Chains A and B, each alone.
Chain A
Amino acid sequence: MVPLSWYILLGVVLFVVGAAGVLLRRNILVVLMSLELLLNSVNINFIAFGHYHGDLRGRIFAIFVIAITAAEVAVALGILVALVRNKSTLKVDDVTMMKG
């Protein structure tokens, strides 16, 4: 069988890649996609721990994470569409309307 640490390492690599996308990219769409990547790496960890410890709660929490992710993406893309309609930009640095 595949050792548990391999799954954890895959989660670590995907998390670092997703965090790099969130922190380094300036395009809002790519930042949102990298957030999805972060949540998926956490899901891998949940299911791997649940599988190797014989616990169903890992899968339950993964289901909740997927549901909350769907809600988050819907709201974020709605905000993005409203933002592009008001201020035609996709760069994170240009969105400083809330700054005093």
Chain B
Amino acid sequence: MHLMCGTIANPVDSGRAIVRVGAASMGQGFFLLFAAVSVITALTVVLARNPIHSALALMACFLQISAIFVLLGAPLLAVIQIFVYVGAIMVLFLFVIMMIDVREAVLQRFVPGGNLPALVLLGLLGIEMLALVLWSDRFSATEPVAVSSGDEVRQLGTTLFADYLLPFEVASVILLAALVGAIVLARRESG
């Protein structure tokens, strides 16, 4: 930041540069905040003993991830994330937690060291992915490619209904099948 300000002599340009650098570091600060909170809440999901605490932490994690979607320039996806995950899926989870008795689950101990092969597998997976990401130079892009300006929702809808019509139909059939299946599975046997 100091280097950038020092090299620019024109005060107007330097002011603009400061504004740009300030905006960039503000974006980084917001990203770090959302990422830290989402990782902490994700750890809470896994480590909490009470499933209700896990569900509430998962809700907070989804909110942080939707904020990260806003940072990524996809506000429509952020809204969908809040509607579907926080509005529908978490309510479903909380209803099921209310329907069944979780007191026994609260009492059972959670020992992370109980499953050694799974721990080794997880460690290997994490180390492998971190090494791939950190060593590869394909992920070093700092500026997003400028897409053609226009309405995001319109572009998305045109692409979805023109190029991806068949996957869209298949997804709606899958949702219908899931609806029918959930009703059939959760229905009490009538005689």
Contacts and interface: CB of A to CB of B under 8 A. Distances in A.
**How many of chain B's residues touch chain A, expressed as a range?**
35 or more
Interface of A: 1-10, 12-21, 23-27, 29-30, 32-34, 36-37, 40, 43-44, 47-48, 50-54, 56-57, 59-60, 62-64, 66-75, 77-82, 84-85, 88, 90-91
A26 B110 CA distance: 8
**Secondary structure call for the B interface:** helix
Interface string B68-107: 1101111011001100110011001100110111101100
Interface of B: 24, 27-28, 31, 35, 38-39, 42-43, 45-46, 51, 54-55, 58, 61-62, 65, 68-69, 71-74, 76-77, 80-81, 84-85, 88-89, 92-93, 96-97, 99-102, 104-105, 108, 110, 112, 114-115, 118-119, 121-122, 125-126, 129-130, 133-134, 139-147, 155-156, 159-160, 164, 167, 171, 174-175, 177-179, 181-186, 188
Contacts of B51: 27, 29-30, 33
B71 A81 contact: no
Nearest to B30: A2
Contacts of A17: 39, 42-43, 45-46
Given A13-B39, A16-B122, A48-B72, 20 more contacts: A2-B142, A12-B130, A23-B122, A29-B96, A29-B97, A33-B51, A33-B54, A50-B74, A51-B74, A52-B144, A63-B156, A69-B84, A70-B88, A77-B93, A77-B96, A77-B186, A82-B185, A84-B100, A90-B100, A90-B105
A32 B54 CA distance: 11
Contact of B146 (A23, A54, A74): A54
